[in-house]
């Protein structure tokens, strides 16, 4: 222990450090790698924060009203009148959730994501459930937002409707790329589209109400819808469940408290209040106006587009509204591209997901998580054919499950700490938790057959996967533990060189083998007797006095006789380590590799699973020709 | 030189030698491996040989007449009358080719394939052209035969017509599998279908002529075809070119002389004469009968099926003829499955194709060639949608090119040797060679735009590929030559162990490294400073006094700093060999590998291209859990 051990640190900081595994296309798309020291947050103002963290929540007004009306329309045109009371309930729910989350913001100034809050207060199991729900939620956010964004575009340009899946995938690919490059939460990028969208919707609503109320805009009678289901309480609940998608993304601000300027918590809470107010107003306004205009959901044009058409005509203003909607929806998808990889990082750091998800890429983003999200979102777009309505039933369950768990976690926290004023705070969170819990049950049950079952099964699978991964890592850590380990030096070291002929590559391998150990044997597997004869002849000259063993192979397999030989060898010399040296070629062009037998590859694969045998390739580099 | 060198031979012959790389599905499909000593030919009688080697040639009557009529029908119904004279020309051509090939049989009792004969007499270049032509020919034999076989089936069962591509692919897959298992040229398998087909066609022809000539069968007037092309000499030549597909497969017997009983050449020549006679009779008979019955080609029913319908009605006899036709066509495809891999073996043995094609598989067949042929044939069936007529224009060019080259090779041989009677023999082959040469030009020019250009381009590509592969192998042999090579013992051997932590796997790797060399250094790449701190702490206890170097990586790449370090090291110690030891895990379940960083894999890939650096993985085997 007292002996001197040299530990040296080499730090060659190179501005243009170029990882060897990059190729030029990657550099072109992603830019130069960034140093770890370049990471770090910039603090942002409330105005910018509202833009950055609200795009997900605000963008839901693009589809929430429509989803309510779509369910109601099953019971015929008259049933559409129930849209307004249902939207009011949703708005009330928003109020409760916002109040509840303000408390999370104050309690977790370091960021209070549902996974963190639930794990800390309710334990690992519920935390993982929240984690599973959120991962799916973020994935669905991308899919729904992109699908709805494409719908905004195809409402304005109907000829693109048949290409909607392709457009969606291209958008996902662009966002993935942008995130791999590393989008900072920069106000310059996010503020304009968000405020532009708010402005567009506000302008449209004001103009609309003015034209309907004051000018008495003539509204065409709605088309008579065929009644396919009776108007039951269940249908109303289903419509309410669909409307609850308006609340998705509300939790974003509470995750991101550290990004605010000081005093962080206060600023974040204020921003949350503003966001909820804007979201509620827009959502109610759109619903009321849709009702006044007697609009009916159509598969080829969104409700928002219909309103814009009715209020603004078909001019430039209309296209501006559609562009604003599409933009904010793309931003909303982009939000999930920072949330998903960050949550995956937390889960991977805690050992519940593969460690690769905790690595930072060239540009400091969690590249693996970003790529994974992009691929899954593209897959979902294909499966659901870019149809927003088909994905919505899967969406809200996970969101409300994480709301519920996170707020119940807060309840537990207040109860455990019993700080001054804890009773009121606990009550607030309890109200929020119970309300969202009830809503979650309503959503899960009314939407169960329409797709919620898929999400529930996926959440269960994710949950068990988390546990399985954690168990494996725990097992590996135990296996690798040095506790009580006594190094036992191997009693000797032998080298076996596998040869298929006598040539320069083989002689080089023999030289290397001799540098490793004095106990070297060469082994050749005989498939063709004539080849052995040639080897024999030349061995006397080039074999360096190393003994050669020829293994006859009746069945022309190279691997099998070699394995038998090594098993025999290990049996006779139980404590020895055996190194198998394989002379290999490295060709200068990839297709040249097709021209050489892939036996070395097979041998490596077979020996990988033999303990006590180490395989080494000694490469002979072929020149370029 | 005088020193004693031990060379030991180990031969453990195991009846049930089980190659390690097999898995149970493979064993189930292919059966147990066969020993090399189990290979060898059995000699077969003339009757069996006729069945085994004629299926390819005889089966062409299933489509040759139809192809002539198909071209003629472009000039309207009246033009179909020219079918008979054209067929007579084809039959005369057959006579010439058969005579010519009888001489090849006598000259090459060891088997006179076109590649061999051409290469030996005209040189390597023309030999490779013949080889390229034959490889494509065999591939097209499979495709055309399977497509025509499926057409025989769908003529009888029209409801299967829309599934013809799938049926064709399934047939190709079955034949591939049968050949991987190893079909011996067994009379038991081949004789019944071939003789059954000959019997069916003979019976049909006799009945047909009897009913038409003697009983005066009433023939319905043929439908009036619209005239889409004028009846020009060019069209007649095109029809002739199409009819020449009747000659495909005629060369098979000359390739297989050693399979005959003694006297091999005489028996083979007799069999060839019989085969030509049967083929010519059937072909002319079918053409005459089709003419008498005033049949017109139809896309959904073959001419042969139409004759059978007209002569035999729609009863059992009709279905027997169709079944016989389908069977012999499948056998014809099967013939190519022994010809193609055998030719590929010859080419690979001579260094013109990748060496893997010269390996015998578990069941002694040239498995790689068989699989390659199966895949390519399936691909062509998909591309041409299983349509015989679409593939035919590609077919005959290669066949006639190899005919021509092979016979001109014989001419050269007679001329060079000037044995007794050489003038007559040379004249015979010259007649054959010139005739087939002219026919080849006719085919290539009349069918050029219909697809022959594809084959010509493919033949050129193959030719250049052969040359490129040969050049590469020559280059490698020169690079690896020990001529003038002086082994220079490396001045020393250092070992670098790459570690990412201190655990059991790392300590085992350090022990191994110490067994290799006294010069061991451990290297750790620092991405996270905290991890380095942990390593430092534990190194004192577990580092075995080995110096540790920490490489700081500002850009989080593990590979780049390691490569820089090794480059430095090699620069300072130019004559040393460096072994990089990577501690790796081997998990017991495949998905566990996803849970560990794949850094070792990246490092191996990057170091593969550094001369003087050898990479060794020391595997720690994780228990099963």
What DSSP string runs through A513-579?
HHHH-SEEEEEEEESSHHHHHHHHHHHHHHSTT--EEEEE-TT--SHHHHHHHHHHHHHHSTTEEEE
Rounded to whole angstroms, the Cα distance separating A615 from B604 reads 13
Rounded to whole angstroms, the Cα distance separating B465 from B156 reads 43
Nearest to B500 by CA among B432, B567, B548: B548
- The 3 state secondary structure assigned to B460-508 is HHHHHHHHHHHHHHHHHHHHHCCCCCCCCCCCEEEEEEEECCCCHHHHH
Predicted local confidence at residue B448, as pLDDT = 87
For residue A288, give Cα distances in angstroms to A85, A301, A392.
10, 18, 22
Predicted local confidence at residue A180, as pLDDT = 84
Spell out which residues of chain A touch residue B559, defining contact as CB-CB under 8 Å. Answer: 19-21
- Residue A258 sits at φ, ψ, to 5 deg, of -65, -15
**Please, which residues bridge with residue B70 across strands?**
none
Nearest to B113 by CA among B95, B146, B135: B135
The β-bridge relationship of strands A492-499 and A7-10 is: unpaired
* Region B333-357 average pLDDT: 88
Assigned token pair, B83 = 């079918």
Q: What is the pLDDT of residues B403-432, one digit of tens each?
A: 999 999 999 999 999 888 899 999 999 999
Nearest to B210 by CA among B221, B220, B202, B199: B202
Tell whether B385 is within 8 A of chain A (Cβ).
no
Tally the residues of chain B: 625
Buried b (16+ CB within 10 A) or exposed e, B235-261: bbbbbbbbbbbbbbbbbbbbbbbebbe
Nearest neighbour of A559 by CB, restricted to B20, B557, B618: B20
Rounded to whole angstroms, the Cα distance separating B554 from B526 reads 8
CB contact under 8 A, A36 and B515: no
Residues of chain A with pLDDT under 50: 1-2, 14-22, 624-625
Predicted local confidence at residue B552, as pLDDT = 86
- Minimal Cα distance from B598: which residue of A? A356
Nearest neighbour of A480 by CB, restricted to B503, B526, B579: B503
- Whether a cis peptide bond, with omega within 30° of 0, leads into A505 is no
Q: Are B65 and B297 in contact (CB under 8 A)?
A: no
Tally the residues of chain A: 625
Rounded to whole angstroms, the Cα distance separating A282 from A191 reads 18
Q: What is the pLDDT of residues B33-69, one digit of tens each?
A: 777 666 655 677 888 888 888 888 999 999 999 999 9
Among A4, A7, A485, pick the best mutation site for testing chain B contact (most B Cβ within 10 A): A7
Tell whether A158 is within 8 A of chain B (Cβ).
no
Mean pLDDT value across chain B: 85
Containing A618, the helix (H) or strand (E) segment is strand A613-621
Rounded to whole angstroms, the Cα distance separating B168 from A606 reads 37
8-state DSSP, A350 = T
Nearest to A69 by CA among A57, A81, A54: A81
CB contact under 8 A, A547 and B5: yes
8-state DSSP, B344 = H
Portion 526-585 of B in contact with A at CB < 8 A = 526-527, 536, 538-552, 554-557, 559-561, 563-565, 577, 579, 585
CB contact under 8 A, B563 and A620: no
Q: How confident is the model at residue B20 (pLDDT cuts 50, 70, 90)?
A: very low
Spell out which residues of chain B touch residue A489, defining contact as CB-CB under 8 Å. Answer: 511, 514-515
Rounded to whole angstroms, the Cα distance separating A492 from A476 reads 28
- Residue B496 sits at φ, ψ, to 5 deg, of -115, 120
Nearest to A332 by CA among A250, A241, A244: A250
Predicted local confidence at residue B1, as pLDDT = 41
CB contact under 8 A, B8 and A620: no
Tell whether B341 is within 8 A of chain A (Cβ).
no
The yes/no answer to whether this complex scores an ipTM above 0.85 is no
Tell whether B618 is within 8 A of chain A (Cβ).
yes
Spell out which residues of chain A touch residue B567, defining contact as CB-CB under 8 Å. Answer: none
pLDDT at B16 over 50: no
Torsion sign (Cα): B520, B525, B531, B537: positive
Rounded to whole angstroms, the Cα distance separating A570 from A580 reads 12
Torsion sign (Cα): A106, A109, A114, A119: negative
CB atoms within 10 A of CB A427: 12
Portion 18-37 of A in contact with B at CB < 8 A = 18-21, 33-37
Tell whether B593 is within 8 A of chain A (Cβ).
no
Nearest neighbour of A5 by CB, restricted to B505, B512, B539: B539
- Minimal Cα distance from A491: which residue of B? B515
Predicted local confidence at residue A183, as pLDDT = 60
Q: Between these two residues, A183 and B520, which has the higher pLDDT value?
A: B520
**Please, which residues bridge with residue A549 across strands?**
A523, B8
**Minimum distance, in Å, between the CA of residue B6 and any CA atom of chain A:** 5
Lowest mean pLDDT among A584-593, B299-308, B489-498: A584-593
Predicted local confidence at residue B15, as pLDDT = 44
8-state DSSP, A609 = T
Nearest to B560 by CA among B597, B536, B527: B527
**Minimum distance, in Å, between the CA of residue A457 and any CA atom of chain B:** 21
- Minimal Cα distance from A609: which residue of B? B586
- Minimal Cα distance from A493: which residue of B? B515
For residue A435, give Cα distances in angstroms to A95, A182, A245, A443.
11, 38, 15, 12
Rounded to whole angstroms, the Cα distance separating A583 from A619 reads 6
Q: Is B8 helix (H, G, I), strand (E, B) or coil?
A: strand
- Minimal Cα distance from B583: which residue of A? A614
Spell out which residues of chain B touch residue A356, defining contact as CB-CB under 8 Å. Answer: 597-598
Predicted local confidence at residue A28, as pLDDT = 67
Q: Between these two residues, B484 and A433, which has the higher pLDDT value?
A: A433
- Whether a cis peptide bond, with omega within 30° of 0, leads into B123 is no
- Whether a cis peptide bond, with omega within 30° of 0, leads into B263 is yes
Rounded to whole angstroms, the Cα distance separating B618 from A613 reads 8
Spell out which residues of chain A touch residue B461, defining contact as CB-CB under 8 Å. Answer: none
Give the helix, strand, coil percentages of chain A, each rounded to 5. 70, 10, 25
For residue B603, give Cα distances in angstroms to A504, B255, B563, B606.
26, 51, 9, 5
Rounded to whole angstroms, the Cα distance separating A240 from A235 reads 9
Assigned token pair, A29 = 């798309």
Rounded to whole angstroms, the Cα distance separating A23 from A73 reads 54
DSSP characters over A445-507: HHSGGGTHHHHHHHHHHHHHHHHHHHHHHHHHHHHH--TT------SEEEEEEEESS-SHHHH
Predicted local confidence at residue A72, as pLDDT = 93
Q: How confident is the model at residue B597 (pLDDT cuts 50, 70, 90)?
A: low
Nearest to A70 by CA among A251, A259, A302, A269: A302
- Minimal Cα distance from A14: which residue of B? B554
Place of tokens 């000037």: B418
Q: How confident is the model at residue B21 (pLDDT cuts 50, 70, 90)?
A: very low
Cα(first)–Cα(last) distance of chain B, in Å?
55
Rounded to whole angstroms, the Cα distance separating A182 from A162 reads 32
* Region B121-140 average pLDDT: 93
The counts of H helices and E strands in chain B are 21, 6
Among B554, B567, B585, B608, pick the best mutation site for testing chain A contact (most A Cβ within 10 A): B554
* Region B334-359 average pLDDT: 87
Q: Is B363 helix (H, G, I), strand (E, B) or coil?
A: coil
Among A353, A365, A476, pick the best mutation site for testing chain B contact (most B Cβ within 10 A): A476
**Minimum distance, in Å, between the CA of residue A377 and any CA atom of chain B:** 21
């Amino acid at each position: 222990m007292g002996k001197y051990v040299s530990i040296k640190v080499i730090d060659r900081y190179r501005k243009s450090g170029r990882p060897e595994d990059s190729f030029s296309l990657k550099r072109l798309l992603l830019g130069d790698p960034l140093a770890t020291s370049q990471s770090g947050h910039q603090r942002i103002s409330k105005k910018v924060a509202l833009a950055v963290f609200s795009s997900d929540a605000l963008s839901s007004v693009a589809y929430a009203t429509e989803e309510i009306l779509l369910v109601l329309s099953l019971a015929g045109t008259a049933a559409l009148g129930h849209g307004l009371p249902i939207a009011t309930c949703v708005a009330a729910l928003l109020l409760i959730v916002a109040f509840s989350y303000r408390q999370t913001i104050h309690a977790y100034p370091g960021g209070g994501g549902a996974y963190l809050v639930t794990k800390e207060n309710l334990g690992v199991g519920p935390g993982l459930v929240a984690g599973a729900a959120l991962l799916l939620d973020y994935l669905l956010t991308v899919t729904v937002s992109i699908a709805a964004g494409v719908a905004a575009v195809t409402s304005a340009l109907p000829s693109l409707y048949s290409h909607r899946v392709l457009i969606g995938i291209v958008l996902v690919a662009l966002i993935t790329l942008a995130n791999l490059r590393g989008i900072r939460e920069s106000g310059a990028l996010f503020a304009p589209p968000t405020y532009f969208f708010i402005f567009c919707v506000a302008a449209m609503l004001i103009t609309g109400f003015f034209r309907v109320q004051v000018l008495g805009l003539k509204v065409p009678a709605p088309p008579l819808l065929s009644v396919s289901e009776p108007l039951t309480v269940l249908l109303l609940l289903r419509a309410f469940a669909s409307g609850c998608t308006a609340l998705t993304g509300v939790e974003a601000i509470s995750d991101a408290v550290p990004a605010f300027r000081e005093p962080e918590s206060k600023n974040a809470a204020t921003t949350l209040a503003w966001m909820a107010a804007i979201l509620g107003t827009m959502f109610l306004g759109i619903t009321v106006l849709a009702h006044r205009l007697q609009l009916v959901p159509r598969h080829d044009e969104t409700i928002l587009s219909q309103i814009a058409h009715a209020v603004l005509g078909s001019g430039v203003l209309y296209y501006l509204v559609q562009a604003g909607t599409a933009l904010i929806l793309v931003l909303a998808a982009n939000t999930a591209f920072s949330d998903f990889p960050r949550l995956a990082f937390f889960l991977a750091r805690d050992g519940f997901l593969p460690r690769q998800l905790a690595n930072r890429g060239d540009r400091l983003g969690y590249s693996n998580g970003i790529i994974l999200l992009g691929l899954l979102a593209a897959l979902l777009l294909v499966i659901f054919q870019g149809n927003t309505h088909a994905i919505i039933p899967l969406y809200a369950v996970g969101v409300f499950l994480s709301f519920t768990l996170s707020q119940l976690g807060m309840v537990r926290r207040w109860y455990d700490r019993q700080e001054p004023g804890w009773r009121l705070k606990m009550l607030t969170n309890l109200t929020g938790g119970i309300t969202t819990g009830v809503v979650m049950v309503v959503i899960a049950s009314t939407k169960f057959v329409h797709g919620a079952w898929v999400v529930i099964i996926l959440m269960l699978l994710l949950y068990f996967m988390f546990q399985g991964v954690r168990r494996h890592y725990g097992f590996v850590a135990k296996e690798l533990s040095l506790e009580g380990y006594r190094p036992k030096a191997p009693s000797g070291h032998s080298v076996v060189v596998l040869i298929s002929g006598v040539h320069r590559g083989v002689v080089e391998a023999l030289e290397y083998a001799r540098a490793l150990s004095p106990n070297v044997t060469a082994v050749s597997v005989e498939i063709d007797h004539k080849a052995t004869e040639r080897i024999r002849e030349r061995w006397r000259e080039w074999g360096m006095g190393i003994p050669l063993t020829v293994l006859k192979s009746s069945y022309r397999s190279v691997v099998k006789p070699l394995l038998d030989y090594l098993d025999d060898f290990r049996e006779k010399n139980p404590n020895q380590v055996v190194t198998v040296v394989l002379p290999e070629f490295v060709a200068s062009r990839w297709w040249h590799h097709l021209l050489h037998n892939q036996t070395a590859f097979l041998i490596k694969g077979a020996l990988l699973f033999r303990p006590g045998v180490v395989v080494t390739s000694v490469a002979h580099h072929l020149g370029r020709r």
